[in-house]
Structure 1
């Protein structure tokens, strides 16, 4: 357990919306993810980066939130980028579900900020 640290944090960095996920993110431990992604899609930034580098596990709830956010971002003319490096538990979900190709992914937050 992470204690009082939030599993989902949303900030703005260099004019880009950055949503950072930490630890194991599931329906119970990831409150605010859907809202943060929707706010980013509706916001003024042309890009949203979801930083998954500190994420050890995501469940189907999180995957659906990301897929829905991808649709919202496309409809708003904004891009959604997932930043890694992805840990095995996260990478495996994208591989097993075949959803990895639905997203632009980078190996680092820095590359996601400029791609």
Structure 2
């Protein structure tokens, strides 16, 4: 599998493609190994990280319960971005301070939903 942009690769002087995507070469991954402006993208984004809804039940008539709270929480449900990668916050720099912003091989931010109850006796 390759990116859609590879459909516009340079093939010949009469068929230059989109003018940005170089031709592919047998046994070469140079385009994918070298940092260049083809990989610079605007990573602006808006996200909703956490939504929690809860309800505390009235338990004043039940003598052995102090409180009961029901809740539902959703994490990382929406990310609005034009960034083509999986995670606009991605960073593969590890300890290299000169490589911030490289997202090679990063995982997407997982979404999760929790439902639960807190019961205090």
Does the TM-score normalized on the shorter chain lie above 0.5? no
TM-score range, shorter chain: under 0.3
Higher relative contact order (CA 8 A, sep 6+): 1
TM-score, reference length from structure 2: 0.20
- Which structure has the larger Rg? 2
TM-score, reference length from structure 1: 0.21
Specify which structure has the higher proportion of helix.
1
